[in-house]
Amino acid sequence: MRDEQLLRYARHILLDDIGIEGQEALLNARVLVVGAGGLGSPVCLYLASAGVGHLVVADDDTVELSNLQRQIMHTNDRLGLPKVESARQAVAQINPDTVFVPLARRLDAQALREQVAQVDLVLDCCDNFETRHAVNQVCVELGVPLVSGAAVRFEGQVCVFDTRLATSPCYHCLFPQGQEVTPTNCATMGVFAPLVGIVGSLQAAEAIKVLSGVGKALVGRLVMFEGRSTRWHEVKVPRDPECPVCRDRAEPSIEPSAKA
């Protein structure tokens, strides 16, 4: 680690749980972020500031005026730019050492598999169930941890799915595909501006914990936040032994105590 990096990440290094070893793990990490909007904004900014070495960010949208109410990575002078290009500029201003790979497109099944195969962790910051299930499917197949977040109106939630662990559920265990679920998105239902910051920041924290091996990640636990009353609620999410997505996965490669 260079002298400049020792200074930049000093407050992490001073934490016994992280230290030099944990910070070097972050510097060597490669992460895929699916979505560069409300959740992707704090995720990208905090992961870059924390020293994650490689960020691959996929989003096929452009910056619009209505985004600026909550998507803090984007600015008025970048209206009309692809969100991933706006994100690249924002990340470069915070940490020029972070290698940023912009993917200005929606990832099809093959492209998604190619990208997930190259990373250590995936963050689901998208806004639709179809993409969430596609990302989950590939993460289970390739044994890559997934940090999932969602936020709409005044409600948000975060969960970690790490199917390297024998007891970890997958996203399908929690929200089975094909189940009758009413589509929700902020374009039609609205969203409390700070909510995406709260949820996205928690996603970033969980990602950093998993990558550096710190603490107890939200594996098998769904944390929900209600903004009107400022209340947190946690529920256990068991693995479904009959889940068609994760029931036949390979034997776990790490012990539960290592990351959860």
214-240 confidence digits (pLDDT tens): 999 999 999 999 999 999 999 999 999
Q: Give the model's pLDDT for residue 51.
A: 97
Of residues 1, 5, 3, 125, the one with CA closest to residue 55 = 125
Looking at domain 3-259, its CATH architecture is: 3-Layer(aba) Sandwich (3.40)
Q: Which residues, other chains included, contact 158 with Cβ-Cβ below 8 Å and sequence gap of 6+? A: 147, 148, 149, 199, 202, 203, 206, 218, 222, 223
The verdict on whether 173 is a catalytic residue reads: no
User: Per-domain residue ranges for the chain?
Assistant: 3-259
Does the pLDDT value for residue 183 go beyond 80?
Answer: no
Q: Give the model's pLDDT for residue 248.
A: 82
CB 122 within 8 A of CB 40: no
Rounded mean pLDDT of 85-108? 97
Maximum alpha-carbon separation in the chain: 54
CB 133 within 8 A of CB 170: no
Per-residue pLDDT band for 1 (boundaries 50, 70, 90) equals: confident
Does the pLDDT value for residue 42 go beyond 70?
Answer: yes
CB 237 within 8 A of CB 159: yes
**DSSP-assigned letter for residue 186:** H
- Arithmetic mean of pLDDT over the chain: 93
**DSSP-assigned letter for residue 99:** E
**Mind listing the pLDDT tens digit for each residue in 51-92?**
999 999 999 999 999 999 999 999 999 999 999 999 999 999
Does the pLDDT value for residue 252 go beyond 60?
Answer: no
Rounded mean pLDDT of 108-127? 96
Rounded mean pLDDT of 232-260? 76
In the block, tokens 């944990």 appear at 22
What whole-number distance in Å separates Cα of residue 72 and Cα of residue 54? 21
Name beta bridge partners: 156.
Answer: 151, 225
Rounded mean pLDDT of 246-250? 79
Which residue of the set 44, 125, 173, 186 is catalytic?
A: 186
What whole-number distance in Å separates Cα of residue 245 and Cα of residue 223? 22
CB 196 within 8 A of CB 149: no
What whole-number distance in Å separates Cα of residue 1 and Cα of residue 4? 8
